[in-house]
A and B are shown apart, each in its own frame.
Chain A
Amino acid sequence: MKVNKMILSVENIGKSYGKQKVLHGVSFAIKKPCIVALVGPNGSGKSTLLNIIANLITPDVGAIEILGQTNRDYKVFQEFSYMQDNTVLYEYLTGYDHLQFIASVQKLRTDDIKAAAERIGTISYLDKKVSNYSLGMKQQLLLTMAILNKPKLLVMDEPLNGLDPTNAIKVRNLLLELVAEGTAILLSSHNLSEIDKVTSDVMFLKNGHLQQEDLKALEKVSYVLTVNHPENGEKILKEAGINILNRKGNRLTVTLSDSSINRIFRLLDDQGIAVRDWEKTVFGAEDRYRTLFGEPETAVK
């Protein structure tokens, strides 16, 4: 029976720049295909950690293994992809040139390029030079490059950067598809609401220390109800012991601890209050982020 290798093993990584210690004893592992998010404020060391995993930076201490091999072996890139920022692109080359090069060293066919490009939606501008790409187009090209070799481990640095909502949804769905196909994904992002939609495995990087959390345990589900009589509705639900988070206009935001949504609808209906619309939202990453890193300063009054 074949023993599955650990997909990613990060052990006791430490890194300093001069006197500033950026990473302290960072350790984690990814054992199966899943999505793990790496979250932290600007300058917290996320990119440093990802670059260390990709062997672009050498840590001061610690070791990393990818699919059972040391990350220092360049051959790991046959099954591991690292989606970086767009500064790695050659401005004077076309998108196709980049993909062609990867396919060449990965021993793939032109059909593979076409399939990846179609999947991401980059085929229409592959023959243009990168210097003419918008930010979103560059991100999509980077994504195409990252999935071309159907990696078992995909590390992504801010993959949703610059994407419009349509493409952000596409990428989110793509990530979920990739996991289903057997790819483990480690991504860093600031887009907390998007992270919440794709994974509950979140690692917070604060002051160089890693804190892994399963947000499912911290998940708070809330419902936003649009009603015709919001004041009455609020009163009724409060009397029934339903937690009302806030009321804005004719919208009530409620959380359920041990009730079901059906109960709320029945309570309102019994009192003749119509529910015109409702939406479910999940609070998790943003709340936890606030707890760990504090409230952001108000920028605009």
Chain B
Amino acid sequence: MLTFELKKIWRSRKIVLLITLLLTVIIVVYISNRESQENWKEEAFAQTDEYRSSIQVEEKRLMEELESGTLPGLEMRQEALSEVSRTLYEWRNEIYHENWSDYPEFEQAFIKGVRNYQEHGGTFDSLEGLKLEIAEAKTKWMVEHGIAYENEQYPLSPHLFLKDTSVFLFSLPGLALLILLFGNIEVMERESHTWRLLRSTPLHSRLVLLSKFVSLLIVVVFYVFIAIGTTLLLPILLGGGKVEWLYPIVVGDDQGFSIISFSAWLGRGVLIFACSIIFLFTLSILVGIRTVYSFPALSITFFIGLLGYVTADLIPFPYHAFTSLRWTEIVYSMPNGSDWKIVAVSLTCSAILLVLALFTPVSSTENRIASLRRFSGEKLTAGKRNAVKLAVFEWRKVKRLGLFRQGLILLLLAISFGYYLLHESAEKHRETYFDRVREQAEINLSLKKELLKWAEEAEQMSVETDAGNSGENNRTPADDMRETSRMYEVRHSIELDKIEAFEERDWRRFYANQFFTIFSSYRMTIGNFYNVGSGSAPVGIGTFNEDVSLAEKEWMMEHDVAPVFPGELAVSVRDNWGDHEKERRQWKAENRKVDAGGLFSIYHLLSSAMYLLPILLFVFLLGGGFAAERGKKRPIDFLLTQPVHPSSVFMGKAMNAVIAAAASMTGLYGLILLLGTIFYRFGDWSYPILYYVPEKIASGPDYGGMRSSGYGYGFIPLGDYVWQGIVLSLLSLAFLLILSIALSIFFRHTATVLALTFLLAGGGFYMARTTLQEMAAYLPFTYLEAGRILNGELATELNEPSIGFWTGAVVMALSIVILVVAGYCFLRSGYKIKRG
């Protein structure tokens, strides 16, 4: 039986597909890393630039301290700092000569120098605390084991490449792939009615199920072997090198860390992965027993798995079945003995699910009798045109098959759950904002008090020394301090007034306070800068974001719209963070606006491109076209032997798919709006959404809009963004459906048709931004990302003002018409549909 199961898996070519997909991903990542490695040396230099800046800052500080007087230990500190500077120079020299094998030694010498400097009372901002400890431990490991420095960001060495790709191979994407390919191993038998063959053998049904489970375990072993093997071999074959099993991997968090070898890390990762996939497989088997078709079985498995992954922290047990799904978190956490608990719990849960599956009665394939038909004598024309009749027939098929209903239910569940998370997030953002406001108020108050105290002390000192320390206009330092303290007092009252204004729903006052906060923070002082090396541009949120933040508040005051939190600072693509990705991400995470109102919820869906997920689902469910009529069964022969032209069949399929999907998608938008309105609020139609103006327009003499740092910008009302986004998304949906159905005229298999559709969409999307940039405005693929079209981001990126909603709507609509007409005419011309 086991041999039979393995033979079926092999003959179904799923293994071939799995290997193909794995190889494709691995090769793409490798090529991408290789291209990114060109600037390796410069990146290595850049990593040491901040140390150089820190040395300069320290040198300046030491000079100031030396000038103010001789403090004990200052000379020792100066010597230590010189040593740091020397070791850094030598280290950078090794980088210049690309002497990567000696790099760790020189890095270690530098780190020792920094530690020595700190022990002598110095501070070194760019390398201190946990960061210093990690660097120390890692370089020590590398020197002890004779391991050379490697590019960890874009690795090409076998071990680091495997570590890099393991996020795909062993985390959610890898799990999802295996479930998709093999998760229906049980339900598939009943779906294709081959279960009867198995039941007519002298084998107990439980033994059959067990052998399926064991075959899945073998698939897991095979997958791990292939994944690790190819990921290690490819870099060796293409780039030489060897596997460094002892390469140090840093694991841990802000509380603590540990260095483990690559082999230990890999072993840990494989173990956790094995536990998670075994759990998911047993779940899919249990779910499959109670369903009849693969689609609902896989969907339910995915849904439960995803739900468990997202809500793992909410479950009141430290270890449970879903813990192992958080692969990345676990393998990068400090080993503390919890791994075995995770393994034990996961395997126990899997065993329980398997036992349940063995003793759960199989869902019957007997279907309910459909509604009784009355022979009323009516003429069954359902409209004059054959295309309409065929559309009705197609809808009947969709209804009877049941997958569409199940897909909609899945979407409803996903939207409801997604809305719940959004609601929680919005509440949390609001609370966090006001916590910060209160905190800031306290800070301002204490600063005011501190300044007043200093002012008194300064006055006291002035009286004692009888020094006439008056500056211009007879102002004393105490006067300056008092004035500054008044400024903090004002800031303090502004923060408190924000809370009051919000509670009174006085939005204009609320925004006026926010306006003042931004203005006083970024315009009245130097601003949120820190210098990176001499001669570098200031790094931070940037003037553009400051100006946009201020203009946004003015808009909101003018339109009297309710606030969205945090909302004080605007977030845009034009910042000054440069290469500081971590800081940029943190800033974006802290300032990204989140709201659970009806309109804003749809805005989130559109701007994050999540609306593409239901579109993909609808294309999967309805886009099979003629290909869905082929396969093991050939109902296409039934259609082709009726007095209807294939072109009418094409039109009927297209009409049904577009109407059913568009109506469903509209319903989903309506549901989101309803949920948002009931549980939060409808939202303000006039809420400002930042709009980027392309340079071609912004730099023109007639441009009368807003400008900052040379970039044009403006705002569009949220309501306009939403309705335009809905229209563009529906057009995208229709376009992809028609494209898929048109392709099904030429290609036999549903999988091929869908794969080609997605490939064309993805490829066209990519080409529109690269090779075909000049034609981007006239390509339908450009408008598949509605969010970046509506806020002008894409138009600005390509500097093509014509890319926008109206052009997109026209281009999409025309493309749909062209596809429909082309398919219709092609079939009318006598092209013979492939039967399979």
Q: How far is the CB of B94 from chain A (nearest CB, A)?
A: 67
| Interface segment, one of B237-245, B281-289, B306-314, B373-381 | B373-381
| Interface segment, one of B454-462, B632-640, B654-662, B699-707 | B632-640
- Asked whether A132 lies within 8 Å of B366 as measured between CB atoms, the reply is yes
Chain B: interface size category: 35 or more
Known contacts A105-B386, A105-B389, A109-B378; is-contact A88 B367 (Cβ 8 Å): no
Known contacts A91-B633, A110-B376; is-contact A77 B642 (Cβ 8 Å): yes
| Interface segment, one of A15-23, A95-103, A259-267 | A95-103
- Asked whether A56 lies within 8 Å of B835 as measured between CB atoms, the reply is yes
Q: Is A32 on the interface with B (CB-CB < 8 A)? A: no
Q: Is A114 on the interface with B (CB-CB < 8 A)? A: yes
The residue of chain B having its C-beta at the shortest distance from the C-beta of A74 within the complex is B645
| Interface segment, one of B135-143, B393-401, B528-536 | B393-401
Q: Which residues of A contact B635 (CB under 8 A)?
A: 87-90
A182 to B401, CA, bound (A): 39
Partner of B637, one of A84, A92, A113: A84
- Asked whether B637 lies within 8 Å of A101 as measured between CB atoms, the reply is no
Q: Is A164 on the interface with B (CB-CB < 8 A)? A: no
- Asked whether A74 lies within 8 Å of B644 as measured between CB atoms, the reply is yes
Known contacts A89-B633, A109-B378, A129-B370; is-contact A54 B641 (Cβ 8 Å): yes
- Asked whether A104 lies within 8 Å of B400 as measured between CB atoms, the reply is no
- Asked whether B835 lies within 8 Å of A110 as measured between CB atoms, the reply is no
- Asked whether B378 lies within 8 Å of A72 as measured between CB atoms, the reply is no
Q: Is B710 on the interface with A (CB-CB < 8 A)? A: no
Q: How far is the CB of B101 from chain A (nearest CB, A)?
A: 61
- Asked whether B638 lies within 8 Å of A88 as measured between CB atoms, the reply is yes
- Asked whether B402 lies within 8 Å of A105 as measured between CB atoms, the reply is no
Q: How far is the CB of A299 from chain B (nearest CB, A)?
A: 22
Q: Which residues of A contact B400 (CB under 8 A)?
A: 90, 92-94, 97, 129
- Asked whether A127 lies within 8 Å of B397 as measured between CB atoms, the reply is no
Q: How far is the CB of B572 from chain A (nearest CB, A)?
A: 51
Q: Is A82 on the interface with B (CB-CB < 8 A)? A: yes
Q: Which residues of B contact A102 (CB under 8 A)?
A: 642
Q: Which residues of B contact A98 (CB under 8 A)?
A: 638
A65 to B136, CA, bound (A): 89
Partner of B643, one of A88, A106, A109, A110: A106
Q: Which residues of B contact A101 (CB under 8 A)?
A: 389, 393, 396, 642
- Asked whether B370 lies within 8 Å of A94 as measured between CB atoms, the reply is yes
A135 to B365, CA, bound (A): 17
Q: Which residues of B contact A129 (CB under 8 A)?
A: 367, 370, 400
For B637, B643, B830, the residue with the greatest tally of chain A CB atoms inside 10 Å of its CB is B643
- Asked whether A131 lies within 8 Å of B365 as measured between CB atoms, the reply is yes
The residue of chain B having its C-beta at the shortest distance from the C-beta of A128 within the complex is B369
Q: Quick one: CB contact mask for A47-85 with B, threshold 8 Å, 1 for yes?
A: 000010011111000000000000010111110011010
Q: Is A295 on the interface with B (CB-CB < 8 A)? A: no
Partner of B380, one of A88, A91, A100, A131: A100
Q: Which residues of B contact A96 (CB under 8 A)?
A: 370, 373
Known contacts A93-B397, A97-B400; is-contact A109 B379 (Cβ 8 Å): yes
- Asked whether A97 lies within 8 Å of B638 as measured between CB atoms, the reply is no
Known contacts A100-B380, A109-B378, A113-B375; is-contact A131 B367 (Cβ 8 Å): yes
Q: Which residues of A contact B375 (CB under 8 A)?
A: 110-111, 113-114
Q: Is B751 on the interface with A (CB-CB < 8 A)? A: no
Q: Which residues of A contact B390 (CB under 8 A)?
A: 105
- Asked whether A56 lies within 8 Å of B644 as measured between CB atoms, the reply is no
Q: Is A108 on the interface with B (CB-CB < 8 A)? A: yes
A77 to B197, CA, bound (A): 38
Q: How far is the CB of B547 from chain A (nearest CB, A)?
A: 60
The residue of chain B having its C-beta at the shortest distance from the C-beta of A108 within the complex is B380
Q: Is A248 on the interface with B (CB-CB < 8 A)? A: no
The residue of chain A having its C-beta at the shortest distance from the C-beta of B401 within the complex is A92
- Asked whether A109 lies within 8 Å of B377 as measured between CB atoms, the reply is yes
Q: How far is the CB of B631 from chain A (nearest CB, A)?
A: 10
The residue of chain A having its C-beta at the shortest distance from the C-beta of B372 within the complex is A127
Q: How far is the CB of A98 from chain B (nearest CB, A)?
A: 8
The residue of chain B having its C-beta at the shortest distance from the C-beta of A88 within the complex is B638
Q: How far is the CB of B431 from chain A (nearest CB, A)?
A: 50
Q: How far is the CB of B537 from chain A (nearest CB, A)?
A: 64
Q: Which residues of B contact A276 (CB under 8 A)?
A: none
Q: Is A143 on the interface with B (CB-CB < 8 A)? A: no
Q: Is A185 on the interface with B (CB-CB < 8 A)? A: no
The residue of chain A having its C-beta at the shortest distance from the C-beta of B646 within the complex is A74
- Asked whether B638 lies within 8 Å of A84 as measured between CB atoms, the reply is yes
Q: Which residues of B contact A78 (CB under 8 A)?
A: 643
- Asked whether A107 lies within 8 Å of B396 as measured between CB atoms, the reply is no
A-B contact pairs, 23 of them (CB 8 A): A55-B640, A74-B646, A76-B643, A77-B642, A77-B643, A81-B641, A82-B641, A87-B632, A89-B633, A89-B635, A89-B638, A93-B397, A93-B400, A96-B370, A101-B396, A105-B389, A105-B390, A106-B643, A109-B377, A109-B379, A127-B369, A127-B370, A131-B193
Given contacts A103-B380, A107-B379, list 9 more A-B pairs with CB under 8 A.
A54-B640, A58-B832, A74-B646, A97-B397, A104-B393, A106-B643, A128-B367, A129-B370, A131-B365
Which B residues contact A (CB, under 8 angstroms)?
Answer: 193, 365-367, 369-382, 386, 389-390, 392-393, 396-397, 400-402, 632-638, 640-646, 830, 832, 835
What are the 7 A-B residue pairs with the smallest beta carbon separation, nearest first? A88-B638, A77-B643, A114-B375, A104-B380, A78-B643, A82-B641, A110-B375
Which A residues contact B (CB, under 8 angstroms)?
Answer: 51, 54-58, 72, 74-78, 81-82, 84, 87-94, 96-98, 100-111, 113-114, 126-129, 131-132
